[in-house]
Amino acid sequence: MSRTALVFGVSGQDGSLLAEQLAAEGTVVHGTSRQPAGPFPNLAALGLGDRVRLHGCRPDDIDAVRRLLDAVQPDEVYNLSAQSSVGLSFAEPRETIDSILSATVAILDAIRLSGAAIRFCNAGSGECFGETPPTGADESTPFRPRSPYAVAKAAAHWTVATYRESYGLFAATAILFNHESPLRAERFVTQKVVRGAARIAARLAAGQAAEPLRLGNLDICRDWGWAADHVAALRLMLRADSAEDFVIATGEATTLRDFVAAAFSAFGLDWRDHVVSVPELMRPSDIAVSVGRPDRAFARLGWRATTRMPELVHRLAAAARTAG
Could you tell me which residues come within 8 angstroms of residue 24 by beta carbon, excluding any fewer than 6 positions away? none
Q: Is residue 167 flagged as an active site residue?
A: no
CB atoms within 10 A of CB 52: 25
Q: Is residue 125 flagged as an active site residue?
A: yes
C-alpha span between 254 and 70 (Å, rounded): 45
C-alpha span between 75 and 69 (Å, rounded): 10
Contact 267, 198 (CB under 8 A): yes
Q: Is residue 127 flagged as an active site residue?
A: yes
CB atoms within 10 A of CB 275: 22
Q: Using N-to-C axis directions, what is the helix angle for 309-323 and 256-265, rounded to 10°?
A: 50
The one catalytic residue among 127, 163, 181, 290: 127
Contact 99, 83 (CB under 8 A): yes
Contact 189, 215 (CB under 8 A): yes
Phi-psi bin for 119: left (phi > 0), alpha (psi -120 to 50), beta?
Answer: beta
Strands (E), the chain: 4-8, 28-33, 52-56, 76-79, 119-125, 170-176, 179-180, 213-215, 221-222, 225-226, 246-248, 254-255, 275-277, 289-290
Bridge-based pairing of strands 246-248 and 52-56 is unpaired
The one catalytic residue among 81, 149, 163, 290: 149
C-alpha span between 235 and 283 (Å, rounded): 33
Nearest-5° Cα angle at 163, 160 to 165? 105
Could you tell me which residues come within 8 angstroms of residue 123 by beta carbon, excluding any fewer than 6 positions away? 14, 78, 79, 80, 173, 174, 176, 234
The one catalytic residue among 89, 125, 147, 181: 125
Residues classed as catalytic: 125, 127, 149
